[in-house]
Structure 1
Amino acid sequence: FFVFSITGENVLHIAIVNEEPATVKFLLDAGVDFTQRCCGKFFCPEDQKSSRVDNVTKECPDVSVPTDYEGYCYFGEYPLSFAAVLQQEESVRLLIAKGADRNCQDSNGNTALHMCVIYNRIPMVDLLYELGASLDIKNRQGLTPLTLAAVKAHKDMFDHILQKTRTIYWQYGNVTCAGYPLDDIDTIGKDGSLNDTSALSIIVRGESAGHLDMMDGLIVQLLNEKWRTFIKF
């Protein structure tokens, strides 16, 4: 199947949007190409529509890198991302069972996990992670799903992903001793350079009330530790 609608989606996208998992299964069994992206400005973030140029000589269109990812129908281009954003669990499982890439990246470098962060779909993050999707992939702005949650000031999502990345050393009753990988959290990278796309940098510099709400837990602990180590006399 290589038929696209007037808006740039194929039959598989349409079946997912219409919440028809039986049709999705039929199409997959019939050999529909689940790697096809939707195309055209209709499925683009609003602030990228004026810069988007579709080029027949390459798979990805040319779009400006800066974006807030806000769009009426920006669902991540691939059928898997569509299914995840639209919370079609059965379709997600069908696509992955057929071999869909769990970490396929759209024109903005966003995976299905990134898209779930944008739309705040915590249950779908759990499902994709359970099915093998990676939380370590960065998009074109250098953001992982965790740091993208910081950009969007989605506190519950940020905390949820943070818990998935931790390593628990021991638990006793309600007390847990755990370690967190600081690659995406701390302002200082492994090589000693400043990491402007770290969660801490994003949250501290954030201008929304949502970013202020994120100033708790691990973020505050990290700030206090930095104060004691590098500033306090």
Structure 2
Amino acid sequence: ISLVHHLISHGGDVATPRATGLYFQKRRGGLIYFGEHILSFAACGGNKNIISMVIDAGASTRVQDYLGNTVLHILVLQPNKVAACQSIDLIMTRDAELQEPVPLDMVPNLQGLTPMKVAAKKGNIMVFRHLVNKRRLFLWRRGSFSSKLYDLTEIDSWADNMSVLELIVRSHHKEAMLLLEVTPVKQLVSLKWNLYAKHYFRVLMIVYLLYISIFTTCCFYRPLMDMPENYSKPSLDKTISFKTIYIQKPLKESYVTHQDQVRLAGEIVSLLGAVAILLLEVPDIARFGVKRYFGQTALGGPFHVILITFACSVLLLLVFRVCDVQREGDVMAVCLVFCWCNVMFFSRGFQLIGPHVIMVQKIILEDLGRFMWQEFIFSLAFASGTWIIYMTQDPAALPTYVNFPITLYSEYEFGLGMINLPWDPTIYAPPIIYVFLIVFSIIAGILFVNLLIAIMTDTEWKVVKDKDLLWRIQVVSTILMLERKLPRCLWPRFGVCGLKYGLKDKQFCPLITTSVATNQGTTLTLYRYCKYYHSPTY
């Protein structure tokens, strides 16, 4: 402190100097990021006396670095959260003396993020709660009851495309999900979901089920006719018989009868639905980016892949039908699998099964992938050794070892328990084959089965532990999806306008809180949303 005082008293400049070297910039692998200005370095140090001396000497509280970050932005990113909150209080108090039209905590950086939004994006719960509480207003207090107004600016997504709710869903930090337990975020999400979003989402589910039912019916009643005698059959191996008796009708004969006209109406609905799906999905891909949109579980990434693939396949069916391509049955089969699998996306509308769908996604996309890769390596090893022995045998005697690809596939099936032991005791085999079969049976039947159980149990434990948070993040992502796709008239703005209380034109969340003592000697704070604040006569 004395050194800083000595420098300032001898004419040290605290406003102009900037640290702009690469070492001081925010970058991957960087050791420190204290901004560029002297005040930001002093704030990150956490000494209140030094901060006050630097401000008194002429340092501006509104300086911004090359990223547009103010001192508050930089404090949000510091590891010492307690010291950061204390420095934020001091700097905001000194900045309030300037009477600027925009408060310092509302100044955005070049990405359009305020300090509160940066805290939400990084999952900094302590600083986020501190900034929320600084905007909180007390209306009255009666004993253990108190009435408070929480500012919803930057939190509610109604009029902000980069709201706190949006940043929580987009964030890669697990701590960001914990912000959904912070007041008033928790109450806002609960109100939006229970009053509107839940019902809209379930109506959307009914519409989707009706749509895919129409598509499925059109597929089941697709135009077929008896295969003519002069139909050119594909050239097959002599051991394979051709049993097809129906083929697709030409386009001119597909829409003749009344039943065909009814099916045509259903096919038009299917095509319009596919176009609508693409028109709704493509803007979100551009908004979030391909990697984040398809890869993030909370956004329903795998289901978006399924849905877009289904829509494109439906449009491909149109091309096949118009061009009289005889393979439209293959595309229909893919469409039916995808459209009905996508029904699982709507499980997020139900708390009982929503988190478990995330568990299924993680097991399929992560656990099974690792397990199948290890199983394939062992199958490849033993299939190579087995084929070396059986390559001198008669292929007709052992169909499971007729060539190396079939041998590899047979070993893989045997390892997964899909077939019995591929061994014929009536045919001579070298003793080493028995050794291979015994060792592979032990590895596949005992080691790998228990390995898969252990991997899936670990994933299940992680999901069950965080199932409430996973449910909430699914709810928030669903609310944001519906708000983007449905007309604004269907979404009333939540909260109460501050003009009713002589405040600024902002939305506030009115809550009544009470403290209740528990049996463990702790105090539990209960929050209740004040519906009567909406009444004009209040």
Fold agreement, TM-score > 0.5 = yes
**Pick from 8, 30, 35: which aligns with 1:71?**
30
| C-alpha contact 2:122 2:173 (8 A) present in aligned 1 | no
In structure 1, the partner of 2:133 is 163
SS at match of 2:196: helix
| C-alpha contact 2:150 2:184 (8 A) present in aligned 1 | no
SS at match of 2:58: coil
| C-alpha contact 2:105 2:114 (8 A) present in aligned 1 | yes
SS at match of 1:168: strand
How big is each residue's C-alpha offset from its partner over 1:33-67, in whole Å with a ceiling of 9 and x where there is no partner? 212211211101124xxxxxxxxxxxxxxxxxxxx
Query: In structure 2, what residue type is equivalent to 1:214?
Result: L
**Pick from 150, 165, 169: which aligns with 2:120?**
150
In structure 2, the partner of 1:110 is 69
How big is each residue's C-alpha offset from its partner over 1:199-226, in whole Å with a ceiling of 9 and x where there is no partner? 1111133333201211113112111221
| C-alpha contact 1:114 1:144 (8 A) present in aligned 2 | yes
1:151, distance to aligned residue in structure 2 (A): 1.0
SS at match of 1:46: coil
**Pick from 155, 158, 182: which aligns with 1:185?**
155
How big is each residue's C-alpha offset from its partner over 1:60-111, in whole Å with a ceiling of 9 and x where there is no partner? xxxxxxxxxx731210110100001111221101011112111111111111
In structure 1, the partner of 2:213 is none
1:137, distance to aligned residue in structure 2 (A): 0.8
Q: Equivalences for 1:36-51 in 2 at 5 Å?
A: 36-47=17-28
Query: In structure 2, what residue type is equivalent to 1:26?
Result: H
Percent sequence identity is 32
TM-score normalised according to structure 2 size: 0.33
Query: In structure 2, what residue type is equivalent to 1:124?
Result: S
Structure 2 unpaired stretches of 5+ = 97-103, 200-538
Query: In structure 2, what residue type is equivalent to 1:129?
Result: M
In structure 2, the partner of 1:125 is 88
For residues 44 and 206 of structure 1, what CA distance do their matches in structure 2 show? 22
- Relative to structure 1, the CA distance from residue 43 to residue 212 in structure 2 (aligned partners, 3 Å threshold; closer, same or farther) is same
For residues 168 and 73 of structure 2, what CA distance do their matches in structure 1 show? 18
For residues 42 and 23 of structure 1, what CA distance do their matches in structure 2 show? 24
| C-alpha contact 2:180 2:186 (8 A) present in aligned 1 | yes
For residues 145 and 117 of structure 2, what CA distance do their matches in structure 1 show? 27
In structure 1, the partner of 2:57 is 98
In structure 2, the partner of 1:23 is 3
| C-alpha contact 1:196 1:202 (8 A) present in aligned 2 | no
Query: In structure 2, what residue type is equivalent to 1:44?
Result: Q
- Relative to structure 1, the CA distance from residue 206 to residue 39 in structure 2 (aligned partners, 3 Å threshold; closer, same or farther) is closer
| C-alpha contact 2:39 2:51 (8 A) present in aligned 1 | yes
SS at match of 1:128: helix
| C-alpha contact 2:122 2:171 (8 A) present in aligned 1 | no
1:144, distance to aligned residue in structure 2 (A): 1.1
Q: Which protein shows a greater Rg?
A: 2
**Pick from 177, 189, 198: which aligns with 1:223?**
189
How big is each residue's C-alpha offset from its partner over 1:175-214, in whole Å with a ceiling of 9 and x where there is no partner? 332222222111122xxxxx23211111133333201211
For residues 72 and 53 of structure 2, what CA distance do their matches in structure 1 show? 17
SS at match of 1:215: helix
For residues 158 and 37 of structure 1, what CA distance do their matches in structure 2 show? 28
Q: Does 1:209 align with 2:174?
A: yes
Structure 1 unpaired stretches of 5+ = 1-20, 48-69, 190-194
SS at match of 2:180: coil
For residues 161 and 174 of structure 1, what CA distance do their matches in structure 2 show? 24
SS at match of 2:112: coil
Q: Which moved more, 1:154-163 or 1:167-176?
A: 167-176
RMSD, matched Cα: 1.8
In structure 2, the partner of 1:65 is none
| C-alpha contact 2:132 2:151 (8 A) present in aligned 1 | no
How big is each residue's C-alpha offset from its partner over 1:15-38, in whole Å with a ceiling of 9 and x where there is no partner? xxxxxx212112112222212211
For residues 62 and 142 of structure 2, what CA distance do their matches in structure 1 show? 36
For residues 118 and 32 of structure 1, what CA distance do their matches in structure 2 show? 28
| C-alpha contact 1:146 1:161 (8 A) present in aligned 2 | yes
Q: Does 1:33 align with 2:44?
A: no
For residues 144 and 173 of structure 1, what CA distance do their matches in structure 2 show? 36
Query: In structure 1, what residue type is equivalent to 2:164?
Result: A
SS at match of 1:83: helix
Query: In structure 2, what residue type is equivalent to 1:24?
Result: V
